[in-house]
A and B are shown apart, each in its own frame.
Chain A
């Protein structure tokens, strides 16, 4: 360890300040002198396409998949039939899903209905125990809700909280995302602008601990730029968008 940790800090800052002060022209050619006050965007203000359609189309394009359901048609049944599709060839039925706490998923009576369909939820409340981690890591399907979803890129945002594990969207090979319609925004920028306007963007980012933007299944192109899926995170990502309006 350095003898005086504060000394390095002060020296670095002093050197930066003095060279910034003495340089008349910092850059070879300045493009813009300062930041515009309004945040900038890659996309022009969104065309109001159907949010669900473009979210789904984008996710599908990125090797994910999606379905939109009316609340009445039974989300639990859709989950059960999707999970059944993921049973490995000749393998046993999947009866347990690594999940966020049911209260975080915004689907009434989800746990009970799934239980009737022979699927139980494994909701760890902490990972101190190695056995808990090993069990969680052995499950094939992880199920989560979202903080927000974006139509133009097919991305979702997940934040950790009590009852919302990070591992549910990270360890299993399959990730099932339940997306309430009210959480879909046209672009990141729309969502950020809303939080900014309401005055709690900074607090939200800080207090979440980690904000994860996830756009489709885990992938790599490291082997000669061949696209391979499921390198570390889920190989299969499926979103179920449901209408949560009254």
Chain B
């Protein structure tokens, strides 16, 4: 990995833009995911399905407290233990306590962005628990000591060649370029982990309130393994994941599958309501559910309920021209990248300044809004966040002075015209390329020309041209 998620924003972006391997991997992956999604949504009445998905999610957020209480009641009735965690620390403490109580030494996990969000693996390892990621992509990342760069395709930033090298080094695999062989190697390794693990940990795609059910969506079957093989199972869910009815979860499942990978449904959908039943052959003896807030109530309080509608399909990442260029790690040390990540990362952070650049890292082109299966107006949210950041005082004194000067200039046609004449004159003095584009602007505008040229200004402004044409031209319409 050449992009260091812990580096400063400008440095991360620079690293990402300079990484040709990353561009190859990103281009191969996101274009294929986009094509598959496009084919899958063409086959159905997309607008109707988006409205349905949106209706379910809106309903759930509006009735969040009631649904969470109903979910809790039913989970307990089903024989689960329910824990509430306000913060990442609280959630980590709850889960490590469960592990300690059972003397757990090995845990297997299925892919979960929520557990990435609370940095669970590190906490468990400090408590003496070996944690193995079982999703193939997450497993690759864990072996490489990296972090996921995409919500649904965590290893999207790696080429097949990179993965083969990694398996040869870490697992002693014979050299091969065949993904099937790499996959078989991982299957063998992970199978023994599943059979030995004393604790299974998963996230949650949807939780059904009326039945007390945790739903996990996977293609590999690791979600079913994690919820079936180890004697103790812990599900970690953001409090925004609840839906009212069984039918709602099944509808959203299909929505997520089509949006994420272009599948009609994923291979596995595991809906777990409780521990192993009386007389059952297998399944966990104990099931815990951790309901995690960690900034979600604050999202609601700050007026960003829209962001809680997200179903984590990753379609906005695959379509975003910024994500496709820089990848997930450029968004920093966060589980969530791309347009939705740029919205929820600063909102979830305890310190809103820690990711203050992210809402600005977007051209607001709007394609994310077009593909979102629950119709989140992401560009609007990004703009509102920018506004909030300014209100919070993230702008410098210099920036504020510049905005005041800008306002004055734009207030009347006369000041605007005068300013553009001055600018045109000044630009002649600056280094230019053959077409007259300016190669180097003086500070404070030099940031612009660091990575691109500034287009030359027209020799005459529109207003000047208009004036010079005279009245007869406008009447005849002759050009």
Residues of A within 8 A of B (CB): 1-2, 5, 8-9, 11-13, 15-17, 19-20, 23, 26-36, 39-44, 62, 124-127, 133-134, 137, 153, 155, 160-167, 170, 188-189, 192, 196, 201-202, 205-226, 228-234
Contact = CB atoms under 8 A, between A and B. Distances in A.
Given A207-B277, A223-B182, A170 B220 contact: no
Given A167-B281, A232-B225, 19 more contacts: A1-B97, A9-B72, A15-B297, A19-B301, A20-B64, A26-B305, A35-B55, A35-B59, A42-B49, A125-B281, A161-B280, A164-B281, A218-B219, A219-B267, A220-B219, A221-B219, A229-B180, A231-B220, A232-B220
A34 B191 CA distance: 45
A222 B208 contact: no
Interface stretch (B12-20, B24-32, B320-328, B450-458): B24-32
A103 to B, nearest CB: 14
- Which of A19, A41, A162, A231 lies at the interface centre, i.e. has the most chain B CB atoms within 10 A of its CB? A231
18 contacts: A12-B291, A35-B55, A137-B195, A160-B283, A165-B282, A170-B221, A205-B211, A205-B271, A206-B273, A207-B273, A209-B275, A209-B283, A210-B283, A213-B269, A224-B158, A231-B187, A232-B191, A232-B224
B85 interface: yes
Contacts of B190: 232
Given A31-B375, A32-B58, A232 B134 contact: yes
A215 B179 CA distance: 22
A127 B282 contact: yes
Contacts of B78: 206
A42 B58 CA distance: 18
Contact of A16 (B65, B224, B246, B277): B65
Contacts of A192: 246-247, 250
Nearest to B155: A222
Interface string B272-287: 1111111111110000
B182 A127 contact: no
Interface string B304-326: 01100100000000000000000
A225 B163 CA distance: 12
A17 B64 CA distance: 8
B386 interface: no
A88 B448 CA distance: 63
A219 B179 CA distance: 12
Interface in B239-292: 239, 244-248, 250-251, 254-255, 261, 264-283, 291
Contacts of A40: 52, 55-56, 247, 251
A13 B65 contact: yes
A222 B62 CA distance: 36
Contacts of A36: 55
Contacts of A196: 247
Nearest to A163: B281
Contacts of A133: 195
Q: Top 6 closest A-B pairs, CB basis?
A: A233-B221, A222-B137, A162-B279, A39-B247, A231-B220, A165-B281
Nearest to A203: B211
Nearest to B33: A225
Interface stretch (B86-94, B395-403, B433-441): B86-94
- Which of B134, B221, B224, B228 lies at the interface centre, i.e. has the most chain A CB atoms within 10 A of its CB? B221
B299 to A, nearest CB: 9
B300 A19 contact: yes
Contacts of A43: 44
Contact of B94 (A2, A44, A127): A2
B245 to A, nearest CB: 7
Interface in B132-189: 134-137, 140, 153-155, 158-160, 163, 179-180, 182-184, 186-187
Contacts of B271: 205, 210-213
B56 A35 contact: yes
Contact of A170 (B187, B224, B381): B224
Given A28-B380, A206-B274, A224 B212 contact: no
